[in-house]
Chains A and B, each alone.
Chain A
Amino acid sequence: MALKLNLHTQPDVPLEADCISPDKMQSLSKHEIEQLIIFHGNRQVPLKDFFECSGEFDGEINIDGDLSRIKHIGAAMSFGKITISGSVGIHTGAAMTGGEIIVEGDASDWLGPEMYGGKITVKGNAGHMVGSGYRGSTIGMQGGEIIVHGNVKNETGHVMRRGLIVVGGNSGDFTGVNMVAGTIIVLGEMGIRTGAGMKRGSIVCQTKSELLPTFTHSCDYQPLFLQHYFKYLKSIGLAINDSLFNGSFERWCGDSVELNRGEILLYAGK
């Protein structure tokens, strides 16, 4: 039986709750879990002041309620599973190294920043800076997967180095800005300045997009590796058009202000 947390009181200022993580809750009794410390503004309060606990931790945590003002859920987690029935606040899954987070609603900004491994699935939309590096960091996401079924805002995959980010809807501006390596797949439309300053890595989009002048058209081709990605994405419930499997992609190289070893693949039709 999974541990269940239910938000019984909406906080008037955001809560910082990095204790909501399998790593922090394993081998604790219900009473000990209730006494875990969270930050309410600059005050430290026990978890039970805002969450009602039931069940027992068996590697899985289910959280009910609107968590859009709860920050750092699953931060630095390395195993287990967190399921959130509603929306969730910023820094969810920050620097996580393993395990899985499933968000049935929307996620706010900074989803999975600087994560090393594991998987985050968001059924709704996500905010800015998905899988990015924190300000000042030269390396962002270093592994794992972030799957967002809806839209995301700006700077998705900023300075990411490894891993996969998939956006089922549209992405905002600066998708893959300064990315070092890794893969971003956008099934909707992308905003402007995609891949600005990217060194390596792949950004794949199902629709045409206006690119920076520092990207040059290399060729049109049918990348075999994308078929594996699309097959996988279809299997996890994303709407993949069958024409993508055998379609042709424009390959754009860039960013020439950097190493020029990155690529943006835009679907060119059959």
Chain B
Amino acid sequence: MQRREFLGLSIAAGLSAAGLPGCSDPGPLRFGIHPWIGYEPLYLARDFNWLPDTVALVPGTSAKDSMEALISGALDGAALTLDETIRVRSSGLELLVVAVADVSAGADVLMVKPSITELTALKGQRIAVELNGVSGVMLFKILEVAGLGRSDVIKVDLPVSQHAQAWSRGEVDASVCYEPTASLIENAGGVRLFDSSDIPETIFDVLVVTRKAAESNSRAVRDLLTGHFTGLQHLVRSMHDSMYRIATRQGISPDEVRMALASVMLPDLAANQRYLRAAGPIETMAGSLSRLMLAEGMIDQNPGIQRMSDPSFLPARVS
């Protein structure tokens, strides 16, 4: 037994002896999730029954579903990108980042026509972008890196899932998208010019819960995270098994799964502690994103990023 475990055990023993404040059964934590490589540990946890009854995964098709359901109160938490979290927060719903599922390191890409070879050449080009999503943030980051103004490009606001069709119809010259759309465009002759690995620790996929749920149903939040990190452990330890399972669910080949995994960093517990600490990378990036999004008119009001991330729900360890 390691010292950490011993400590953990004594703390756990102490807590259980003290009797955790019992809460009236608030029902399961309704957690919205949609297909994304970073959220796979949660799917794995569900498939292996590592999620207890306190957590109910609500599968959706996109982050948009989750955001709407969060605001309407149909969900207590969801897997979102950091900028989506800020959007929801700015609408008045207080969300807490309780875990970082992945950090994009190449998953979000800028696909361009082969004729465009550098970022400055984007000037005057039609760029497909989902302004209301992570794609929008990515675009502004790209423009920032390229030294271009917002008005220097023609933004074609389209959901990412429709970028491939727009591309094939020749309606756009570039697309800010992610897998699997990126692969589709690449197959259609697109070229990867820029991806999120060029702007490290900018695009986070996080697990968020409402403050209300965090306060009234903290046990379920812990269960959710324990499930996520158990799934992540399986993903890492039994890569041979996970690859096939992810491939099955996403409908792609195991090789493509391997490539997708290569485009994200999956932070473990220790890394999560680092990301979520007060005034840590998450809160810093949230602050910078809020300013950017406010400037770009993507949100109406500054959501305030104080106490946005909370590492206290992270399990001490997973077996």
Q: Do A and B come from one complex?
A: no
